[in-house]
Every structure is written in structure tokens, then in C-alpha cells.
């Protein structure tokens, strides 16, 4: 399931992010430092050093925004979120076709996170760079994603995906993974649709008893499928 989460960051926040990421002393490193053996041959970009003060500061702002965003909660049903990272592509940089590693070590904790969902939060306006689309292969074919600054896409970490070469300007993004309470993408989609339907019934003044019953169905399915 691909879910477009609009306006996770407002323009004020975006300006703050871009100022910090564009600063001369921003700790950009070769993106291959976090690539697995599969990615290292196809990955060509830069990342803010993982665990640096800047990555932590901006990452915490993203995490706080996620906690307040009902669409993200409903779509991802997050259990754990990997500390957000930041990347940039310019001058032809790209990331060839790959699948994200299934298990990642949470830095500094020894704990592991299963990557059920991949997230890309776009930080640069789409007209400020050419190409650089995120291409995601899903069951309906290849989806092309290039979103407004501040918007985020959620997609299955299991899907083949790539980033086209950036031929002008700079593509800035934040990316991270989510371990969901509901591991199966199909079950997560059913819960997402059911939740959206219940919200709409509430908003349009549907019969209270029926809404209550459906809400019970939602929670009882979640209880059956959720793992903690
Ligand atoms: Ni990836």
C-alpha cells in the first residue's frame, strides 16, 4: 500500500530544515556508509552522519510531527520508528533498484527493528530540481513519486524501488523505516480502509450504534493482528 501523507512539515519548519542542511558545516557523508552489500553498488548520494547532533535535532522534529499526524498513525500503526535520516542527491546522483534491508540495528541500543514500511519525506520543492523521482514497483506497476516539500510517502519496505538521477538542483529528503504493530501489508490496508470509513461515517452523522459496532470491529481486528 502506498500512502501519501500531505503537509507533515509546515513552511516554517521546512525553512529551518533547509537552512540547517544547506549550512557549510552540515555533516554530509557518502551515503554508502549505511548501505548493505546489495545497496553499495547502486547507491550514489550523500547523507547526514547518523547520530550527529543535526540528525538527532531534525529527526526529533520529524518524530514529533509523526506522533501528531492521524493519517500516519492510521496507515502505519507504528510500533517502532527508526531514527530519521537525511539525504541529498545532486549532479547526477541516484540510487539504483534495491529492496531495503529487512532488519536494522537501532543505533546505540543493540535492539533490532523490522522494516515493514519505508518512508520518504520530501524537503525540497519539486521545481527546484529536475528528475530525482522515487520509483516504486507495486502490484499495480511502477509508481512515480515526486511530492511537494513537506509531504511524505509511505510504501512497503519489501518493494523494489529506486531514485532517478538528479540532473539539476538538489533533492533533499528525510527517510526512515517503521516496524508496524501489524506486519502484513494486506491486513494493514484493511484496517486503514476501515478506519477511514468509520471517520467518514462519524463526520457525516451516521447512526451512532452502527458506528460503535464498526469501531468495535476495528479494534477487535487490531487486537487479533497486532503484535507488540
Ligand atoms: Ni531504499
- The CATH number that applies at residue 214 is 4.10.860.20
Model pTM score: 0.94
* pLDDT digits (tens), the chain, 228 positions: 999 999 999 999 999 999 999 999 999 999 988 777 767 778 899 999 999 999 999 999 999 999 999 999 999 999 999 999 999 999 999 999 999 999 999 888 889 999 999 999 999 999 999 999 999 998 889 999 999 999 999 999 999 999 999 999 999 999 999 999 999 999 999 999 999 999 999 999 999 999 999 999 999 999 999 997
Query: In the prediction, which pLDDT does 36 show?
Result: 74
Query: In the prediction, which pLDDT does 40 show?
Result: 74
**How far, in Å, is the centroid of ligand 1 from the Cα of 98?**
6
Q: Which of 163, 159, 152, 154 is nearest to 129 (CA)?
A: 163
- Judge if 207 and 110 occupy the same domain: no
Mention every residue, 6+ apart, whose C-beta is less than 8 A from residue 118: 100, 154, 155, 156, 157, 159, 161, 175, 177
Asked if residues 2 and 138 have their Cβ atoms less than 8 Å apart, the reply is: yes
**How far, in Å, is the centroid of ligand 1 from the Cα of 119?**
9
Range of the domain at 199: 185-225
- Judge if 134 and 203 occupy the same domain: no
The number of domains in the chain is: 2
**How far, in Å, is the centroid of ligand 1 from the Cα of 53?**
24
**How far, in Å, is the centroid of ligand 1 from the Cα of 32?**
12
Beta-carbon neighbour count of residue 29 at 10 Å?
13
Q: Which of 124, 131, 113 is nearest to 176 (CA)?
A: 113
3-class secondary-structure state, position 103: strand
- Judge if 206 and 124 occupy the same domain: no
126-145 residues labelled b (16+ CB within 10 A) or e (exposed): beebebbbbbbebeeeebeb
**How far, in Å, is the centroid of ligand 1 from the Cα of 210?**
42
- Judge if 133 and 206 occupy the same domain: no
**How far, in Å, is the centroid of ligand 1 from the Cα of 118?**
7
**How far, in Å, is the centroid of ligand 1 from the Cα of 176?**
9
**How far, in Å, is the centroid of ligand 1 from the Cα of 224?**
30
Amino acid at each position: 500500500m502506498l500512502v501519501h501523507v500531505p503537509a507533515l512539515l509546515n513552511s516554517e519548519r521546512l525553512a529551518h530544515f533547509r537552512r540547517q542542511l544547506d549550512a557549510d558545516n552540515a555533516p554530509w557523508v557518502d551515503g554508502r556508509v549505511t548501505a548493505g552489500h546489495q545497496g553499495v553498488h547502486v547507491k550514489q548520494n550523500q547523507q547526514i552522519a547518523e547520530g550527529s547532533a543535526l540528525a538527532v535535532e531534525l529527526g526529533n522534529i520529524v518524530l514529533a510531527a509523526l506522533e501528531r499526524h492521524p493519517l500516519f498513525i492510521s496507515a502505519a500503526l507504528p510500533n517502532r520508528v527508526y531514527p530519521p535520516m537525511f539525504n541529498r542527491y545532486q549532479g547526477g546522483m541516484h540510487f539504483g533498484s534495491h529492496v531495503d534491508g529487512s532488519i536494522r540495528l537501532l543505533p546505540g541500543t543493540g535492539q533490532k527493528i523490522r522494516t515493514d514500511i519505508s518512508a520518504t519525506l520530501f524537503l525540497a520543492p519539486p521545481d527546484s530540481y529536475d528528475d530525482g523521482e522515487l520509483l516504486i514497483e507495486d502490484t499495480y506497476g511502477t509508481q512515480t513519486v515526486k511530492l511537494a516539500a513537506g509531504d511524505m510517502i509511505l510504501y512497503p519496505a519489501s518493494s523494489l524501488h529506486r531514485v532517478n538521477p538528479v540532473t539539476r538542483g538538489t533533492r533533499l529528503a528525510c527517510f526512515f523505516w517503521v516496524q508496524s504493530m501489524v506486519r502484513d501489508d494486506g491486513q494493514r490496508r484493511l484496517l486503514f480502509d476501515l478506519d477511514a470509513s468509520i471517520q467518514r461515517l462519524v463526520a457525516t452523522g451516521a447512526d451512532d450504534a452502527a458506528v460503535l459496532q464498526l469501531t468495535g470491529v476495528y479494534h477487535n481486528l487490531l487486537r487479533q493482528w497486532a503484535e507488540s
